[in-house]
Amino acid sequence: MTATLTLPERPPALKAESKNLDFYYGSFRALKSVSMPVYENKVTALIGPSGCGKSTYLRCYNRMHDLYPGNRYEGSIDLHPDQVNVLHPSVDPIEVRMRVSMVFQKPNPFPKSIFENVVYGLRVRGEKSRSFLEDKVEAALKGAALWEEVKDRLDEVAVNLSGGQQQRLCIARSLATDPEILLFDEPTSALDPIATGSIEELISVIKGKVTILIVTHNMQQAARVSDFVAYMYLGELIEFGETREIFMKPKRRETEDYITGRFG
């Protein structure tokens, strides 16, 4: 008989961390002192009832709220290992969006070719070399499990793709700039079960390369794809923990009520 040696699991490295994060839409305080770690190469799912602040929290990570006047952040979001606080006024939001990229609920390809969609961020960055861009397109589309389906039609307009293909294209567009963190806001809610399955599979693969934060209303999806879960309610982080723990043995009654559907 061979004895199996089980080594203690290495604790995951910290990729980012929000500290006492408050967010205001004008005078409305949508996030209340949210402190939460985000672990490297892990998937963290944000769950909670509608209006609890999941999208608001996600959008702080790439300074999306800067696009509208009257919005205000307090507290910090540090990216590691360099410990840059992405919310600091001296930090350029365009730079932040290169490091922290977002995939939206509804696929939103630009009215351009498949190729131009993928290279969009690279062109913004000033990349001009055709061979460099071609290599990046191939790598990003392979990374998004779309290459085989589109490699012979890169010059076709992206809107001709199916919804699931468009969402994978948006993932490829995000991957092309080599971000450190990918934000997904309900990325499969507009997709059928097959396309949803392929996106979930993709998330499990790309987390080898990037750290992922995902908002989902689907508890099965959170259980399937995430390593950590954050339960939010009315702008507050109620509970954070390993997915297994949150679903099997949540510490807070409110979390249990929500995940078992007893909420409300």
Options 25-33, 90-98, 113-121, 199-207: segment touching ligand ATP (CB under 6 A): 25-33
CB neighbour class for 255 (10 Å; exposed up to 12, middle 13-18, buried from 19): buried
The single residue among 25, 104, 120, 147 that binds ligand ATP, judged by CB under 6 A, is: 25
Which element (helix H / strand E) includes 85? strand 84-85
Residue 33 CA to residue 132 CA, distance in Å, equals 43
| # residues contacting ligand ATP (CB under 6 A) | 11
The single residue among 16, 30, 161, 238 that binds ligand ATP, judged by CB under 6 A, is: 30
Options 53-61, 121-129, 237-245, 254-262: segment touching ligand ATP (CB under 6 A): 53-61
Q: Is 56 in the site for ligand ATP (CB under 6 A)?
A: yes
Options 52-60, 92-100, 116-124, 154-162: segment touching ligand ATP (CB under 6 A): 52-60
Q: Is 189 in the site for Mg ion (CB under 5 A)?
A: no
Q: Distance from CA of residue 253 to its chain's centroid?
A: 27
Q: Which of 205, 200, 240, 206 is nearest to 222 (CA)?
A: 200
Q: Is 218 in the site for Mg ion (CB under 5 A)?
A: no
Neighbours of 63 (CB within 10 A): 21
Asked if 214 contacts 44 with a C-beta cutoff of 8 angstroms, the reply is yes
Contact footprint for ligand ATP (CB under 6 A)? 25, 28, 30, 48, 50-56
